[in-house]
Amino acid sequence: MQEEKQQLFIILLITFIGFVGASIAYPIFPPLFLHPTLGSIIPSTWSDHTRSILLGVALAAYPLGQFIGSPILGGCSDRYGRKRILMFSLAGSMIGYLFTALSLQLNWIGALLASRFLTGLMESNLAIARAMVTDLNSISKYKSFGRINGVAAIGYVMGPILGGFLSERNLVSWFSFAFPFYLATFFSIITLLLAAKKLTEKKHEITYPIVSIWQRFNLIARIKALFKTSVNLKHLLLISTIFTFAVDIFYEFGPVYLTGLWSMTPAGIAVYNGILSLTLAIGSGWLTHRLSLYFSAERIIIIGMFITAMILGLMVVWPSLIFAFILFGLVGLSIAVVNVNITIQISNTADKSIQGEAMGTQLSLRMLGDALICLVGGFVIIASVALPIAAGCMIALMAAGMYGRKL
């Protein structure tokens, strides 16, 4: 049992660093690309329109890598061993962070875009991490998945904080845009060494046809094949994708809602996102397990979806700065309990030999939805900054209705 606790700690550390890496660029890239006086990675003669387009590409490169890599790395971990593929991906993410830092220091725009894509591709290992906790027999999935989601929420907040402060030259003279990524490289090395020493490989009987690495790059074919293994798994993955689509709309456009209605500053937005992340961590790491002692997962999921929809609806019909702060906290709890429970149901439905691919597909579909949100959302907010939140409310209700019909 002690050995499995150590392995869970390493898995949580990998998850934390992955989410820090996903968000560390958020406070760095906008000033770097949009304000030529702060950095010279783009010539000052380039137009603002070109800068904005390149900023979008730079921010999209990481999640695009995750969209492609999640089902591939997850599936390969089923076939070739979780530790082996995890070690490969950790080494790859270390190289990705290092090249990101070098490209920022040496002003290589092409290398920057490629390195962020590589880092996202390699940090699709979150799918492997989720699959690995299903192998921990002495720790319940409510605790393991809950803690993974909890540290993910904390990492997603810590990333922008670290990126913002460690790139501020006015604080320390040797801080720079590249320094946070050098630090991420160092942490990746530590994680790689800990994983090599502490994690163990567990063999699984392969009960499905063997698929080559190259065949896994046909994402559509692999998703279709996964759907065919179980009708319930197909439904759960689709419902999970729809619900997280609603959630990601809130994540992406909650700050726009706050800014548009009350002209909130970045510091103010950070406070609201802080309470959201805190309740996400509490809901994932503690509340989900407590609720599982008294209620079935099915009841928790459907009630949690309805509560999420209700809270988003209240933000639209009753705009209030103080009330919104309370709602940001409450919605973190409802989102957390739904995400943890539905991930556990997906894991329980999938065969032991395809846990990695199932977890990878769930993450991949979410990243695809996030990309679509970014593409469409900019046009939606032209009509109203509250319209995306209203859309999130309706989509959450749709997910609840679909899940209710599945029962």
Q: Which CATH number among 1.20.1250.20, 1.10.287.110, 3.40.50.300, 1.10.490.20 corresponds to the domain 222-407?
A: 1.20.1250.20
Cα dihedral across residues 239, 240, 242, 243: positive or negative = positive
Give the start-to-end residue ranges of the domains of the chain.
1-204, 222-407
> DSSP letter string over 75-122?
HHHHHH-HHHHHHHHHHHHHHHHHHHHHHHHHT-HHHHHHHHHHHHHH
Q: Between vectors from CA 291 to CA 287 and to CA 292, what angle results, nearest 5°?
A: 120
The secondary structure element, H or E, covering residue 47 is: none
Residue 384 CB burial class (10 angstroms; 0-12, 13-18, ≥19):
middle
CATH code of the domain occupying 1-204:
1.20.1250.20
Distances in Å between the Cα of 110 and the Cα atoms of 35, 96, 122, 167, 290 are 18, 13, 18, 21, 48
Distance CA 301, CA 144 (A): 18
Per residue of the chain (407 residues), what is the pLDDT tens digit?
678 888 898 899 888 888 887 788 877 877 777 766 555 677 777 777 777 778 778 877 888 888 899 989 988 888 888 999 999 999 999 999 999 999 998 888 889 999 999 999 998 888 898 889 888 888 888 888 989 988 888 887 788 778 878 887 777 888 888 899 999 999 889 889 988 888 888 766 666 666 666 677 777 888 888 888 888 999 999 999 999 999 988 887 888 788 888 987 656 777 888 888 889 999 998 999 999 999 999 999 999 999 999 999 999 999 999 999 999 999 999 999 999 999 999 999 998 888 888 999 998 888 877 767 766 765 677 778 899 899 999 999 999 999 998 76
Backbone region of residue 140 per phi and psi (left: phi > 0; alpha: psi in -120 to 50; beta: other values): beta
Task: Note whether 1-204 and 222-407 share their fold.
Answer: yes
Distance CA 63, CA 241 (A): 15
